[in-house]
Structure 1
Amino acid sequence: MSQPTTVKHYTRILSLWPKDSLRPNLPFTRTIERRATPYGVKPVSPPVEDAKNSDTSAGKPAPIAKSSPQAELPQINALYSLLENRYSKKYPISPGLLKPTSNPEHYDRLMEEIERAPKKSWLQAKMDEWKMKIRWQ
């Protein structure tokens, strides 16, 4: 695999990677971009500096050494396998696993909460946190 092919693959992966609405300040695309920058891939999103780490060098990660494009092939294949959900298709889980007899709605409620979390205000998040600390039984 040549360097232009490596750039094409990383660019395609970055364009297809889903957005993380739960943690928009820590997208996995930053890790992919960091891995791909030695090959000439331009970052998709501008880097957001963390206020705590902007003045210290201790919070900055070490630079990644550029390896041969052929050595990048396993990493690119791993990213494609995650994008295509190869493992969940190859090893499907049984429906009963997501509906334990002790609490069958647990995972459904968890997914609903994860979907609601990015839309909550700070106050709503704090109220939910306090509610979880009080037992209502």
Structure 2
Amino acid sequence: MATTIAKQYTRLLALWPKDALRPTLPFTRAIEHRAAPFGVQPITPIPQDSKTKPSAPAPSNPPPSTPPNPQLEQSQVNALFSLLDDRYSKKYALSPGVLKPTSAPEHYTNLMEEIERAPQKTWWQAKLDEWKMKIRWS
């Protein structure tokens, strides 16, 4: 059973989408931490600070005091697969009015466009956009 859990965690890590907004803090690290007791090796490289020189390896987390229960872990794996399959947004679909409120019908469209542009912005472009948002043009 434990090898099945390890295989499922490995598959989850391979299929999980990359986080473009926070590439240094992906959710896959949490999955890797959860899967470590089952022998799953991390696939996400941990970024090194350019200011710190490499020294002794960082201490690893101590093993849990009790071994993980594969039956309980299977429910956690199933929950992650349901998130990956987008099961809940399919089951509980939003009405079109929720994403296009009458007060600002283009709000969520603009928000998604901004999120898609954010990873390609330079620091200066991000600051400029931040200042533009603080100034009210009437």
Fold shared by both chains (TM-score > 0.5): yes
TM-score by length of 1: 0.87
1:15-26 alignment, distance < 5 Å? 15-26=14-25
Identity across aligned pairs (percent)? 63
How many residues matched?
A: 129
Matched residue, 2:90: 89
Q: Return 5+ residue gaps in structure 2 as ranges.
A: 51-58
Matched residue, 1:34: 33
Structure 1 stretches (4+) deviating beyond 4 angstroms?
A: 60-64
AA in 1 matched with 2:85: E
Where 1:100 maps in the other structure, the secondary structure is coil
TM-score by length of 2: 0.86
Where 1:26 maps in the other structure, the secondary structure is coil
AA in 1 matched with 2:43: V
Query: How well do the aligned residues superpose, as a CA RMSD in angstroms?
Result: 2.0
Q: Return 5+ residue gaps in structure 1 as ranges.
A: 52-59
CA distance in 2, matches of 1:105, 1:76: 37
Residues 77, 69 of structure 1: CA spacing in aligned structure 2 closer, same or farther, 3 A cutoff? Answer: same
Superimposed CA distance per residue, residues 41-76 of structure 1 (whole angstroms, 9 cap, x where no aligned partner): 01112223578xxxxxxxx99656241212201100
